[in-house]
Amino acid sequence: MGKVLTLVPIGIALLAACGDGDSRALPTTTISGIHDVKRDSVAYGWTRPVTAKIFPEGTEKLGNAHSTISGNTLRNIVTDQTVRVRGDDNACVTCHAWAKEESREDFCARVPAFLDQPTSRGDGHDPVEAKPLVLKDLLDRWHAAGCPE
């Protein structure tokens, strides 16, 4: 019989701060290990843009973000200084300088550590390493699919 996934609604986090801590504040909604995900089963990737049709959650701006997830590739989100999807309107490379030259394979290897970070509540009291649930969901699906191009 199939596995059952129970989701705990915590809302879409509005803020993300700089940090690389390893504590875990809230449960995350993940699909890794829950569903059998086939390689390339997500219709976005490192060089394929996220679209509203395939990831509707990515159409909303987080907090003060300049950009939305939708319309961007994961590569752009991770490496491009002008793409600012974070709630604090910083580019990911603002806090994660290592990401500027990151390859798909290297970034893929970092996703589990990202997913282990606390999940942002967006209430202004998050630990600095907290990550928005929508970004965790996006990267978890991509990682579970084998980090497709």
d(CA 56, CA 94): 26
**pLDDT, tens digit, for every residue of 22-45?**
333 333 333 444 344 455 579 999
Contacts of 52 (CB under 8 A, 6+ apart): 58, 59, 70
Report the SS3 class of residue 131: strand
Q: Is residue 140 part of a domain?
A: yes
Q: Is residue 128 part of a domain?
A: yes
Single pTM value for the model:
0.74
Q: Is residue 2 part of a domain?
A: no
Q: Scanning the structure block, which residue is given the tokens 């990737």?
A: 45
Q: How many independent structural domains does the chain possess?
A: 1
Q: Is residue 88 part of a domain?
A: yes
Q: For residue 123, what pLDDT is reported?
A: 81
Q: Is residue 17 part of a domain?
A: no
Q: Is residue 85 part of a domain?
A: yes
Do residues 35 and 144 touch, judged by C-beta distance below 8 A?
yes
Which domain range does residue 113 map to?
56-144
**Mean pLDDT confidence for 39-62:** 90
- Please give the single-letter amino acid code of residue 49: P
| Res 58 pLDDT > 80 | yes
